């Protein structure tokens, strides 16, 4: 019974948090560019507007895929809040991205297809780091279960500082912020028209937007996992981490997918690997 209430609360609260965070993001971005910026609730206005528009789809399967993207994201967030298996959450997150890619590939538009290809490449870039993160957490705590991970008697970050750096690195890709906003971007500036979401319009685009908010909450929860011992430290860490993402978003231009792949696989995955070996020696061999 308790689980059902938690699930319901998560499904309702998560998009509210995601929307407000997006709104604050847009406001801070505007202030950094010396503008006044939209109201904090602007993402909600956008979403409700999208839902009140006409549905235009090229192929009907698109609606299904957009819906699946949303559902998989919701399931992932709910599983995290219910403290279930971390590895499974990662897989479901990958399913969500796959649904989006399939949705974009269901049309013949070259923009949406190139966007889908770029999204695939970003999956290729960030997925090894996420898997390395999970494995490292397993080495430290001896479990994939978030319930057991939270029982760990110190901050996870103390054992996994480099993993955290690698994770913040792929967070930029996952949040689709500059310099890695290759497949689509959350701001007005874009190339490839609008990348992976080019062929989605009206309510279907709204579903994807909503899915992104759940995804955002899940990613912030991942940050929380590293600082879970103390709630205030965790909130401070999330705020600092997200603020840094906004700063990086504003000071950098878009890079090509080749540089993204090289950088993530050498720098980010390198960091993750060093940390992985370190915790392996510390917890498994000694």
Applying CB under 8 A, which part among 47-55, 216-224, 263-271, 276-284 lies near another protein? 47-55
Q: Is 62 or 97 the residue whose CB approaches another protein more closely? A: 62
200 touches another protein by CB under 8 A? yes
12 touches another protein by CB under 8 A? no
Q: Is 34 or 154 the residue whose CB approaches another protein more closely? A: 34
Q: Is 107 or 141 the residue whose CB approaches another protein more closely? A: 107
Using CB under 8 A as the binding criterion, the count of chain residues that bind another protein stands at 32
Which residue of 49, 150, 247, 262 would you call a contact of another protein, by CB under 8 A? Answer: 49
Which residue of 8, 16, 30, 259 would you call a contact of another protein, by CB under 8 A? Answer: 30
Distance between CA 40 and CA 131 in Å, rounded? 34
Which residue of 13, 16, 52, 158 would you call a contact of another protein, by CB under 8 A? Answer: 52
Specify the DSSP class assigned to residue 40: T
250 touches another protein by CB under 8 A? no
44 touches another protein by CB under 8 A? yes
Applying CB under 8 A, which part among 17-25, 65-73, 172-180, 201-209 lies near another protein? 201-209
Distance between CA 28 and CA 42 in Å, rounded? 13
Which residue of 24, 64, 193, 239 would you call a contact of another protein, by CB under 8 A? Answer: 193
Q: Is 113 or 279 the residue whose CB approaches another protein more closely? A: 113
Applying CB under 8 A, which part among 36-44, 144-152, 257-265, 277-285 lies near another protein? 36-44
**Residue that is written with structure tokens 């989605």 in the block:** 200
Return the number of other C-beta atoms located less than 10 Å from residue 8's C-beta.
Answer: 11
The answer for residues whose C-beta is within 8 angstroms of residue 154's C-beta and 6 or more apart is: 229
H-type alpha helices, the chain: 2-32, 42-51, 61-81, 86-105, 110-141, 146-149, 156-159, 161-174, 203-226, 231-251, 257-263, 269-280
Which of left, alpha, beta for 109 (phi over 0: left; psi -120 to 50: alpha)?
beta
Distance between CA 104 and CA 155 in Å, rounded? 40
């Amino acid at each position: 019974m308790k689980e059902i209430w938690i699930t319901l609360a998560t499904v309702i609260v998560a998009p509210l948090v995601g929307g407000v965070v997006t709104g604050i993001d847009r406001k801070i971005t505007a202030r950094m560019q010396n503008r006044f910026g939209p109201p904090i609730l602007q993402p909600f206005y956008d979403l409700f507007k999208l839902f009140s528009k006409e549905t235009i789809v090229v192929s009907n399967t698109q609606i299904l895929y957009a819906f699946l993207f949303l559902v998989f994201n919701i399931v992932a967030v709910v599983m995290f809040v219910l403290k279930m298996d971390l590895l499974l959450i990662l897989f479901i997150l990958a399913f969500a991205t796959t649904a989006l890619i399939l949705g974009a590939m269901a049309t013949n538009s070259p923009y949406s297809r190139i966007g889908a290809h770029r999204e695939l490449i970003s999956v290729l870039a960030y997925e090894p780091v996420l898997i390395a993160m999970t494995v490292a957490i397993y080495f430290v705590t001896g479990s994939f279960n978030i319930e057991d991970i939270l029982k760990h008697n110190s901050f996870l970050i103390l054992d996994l500082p480099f993993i955290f750096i690698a994770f913040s690195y792929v967070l930029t890709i996952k949040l689709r912020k500059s310099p890695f906003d290759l497949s689509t971007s959350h701001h007005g500036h874009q190339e490839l028209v609008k990348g992976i979401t080019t062929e989605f319009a009206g309510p279907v685009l709204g579903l994807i937007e909503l899915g992104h908010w759940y995804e955002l909450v899940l990613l912030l929860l991942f940050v929380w996992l590293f600082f879970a011992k103390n709630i205030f430290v965790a909130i401070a860490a999330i705020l600092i981490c997200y603020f840094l993402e906004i700063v990086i978003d504003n000071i950098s231009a878009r890079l090509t997918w080749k540089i993204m792949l090289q950088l993530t696989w050498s720098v980010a995955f390198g960091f993750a690997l060093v940390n992985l070996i370190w915790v392996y020696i510390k917890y498994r061999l000694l």
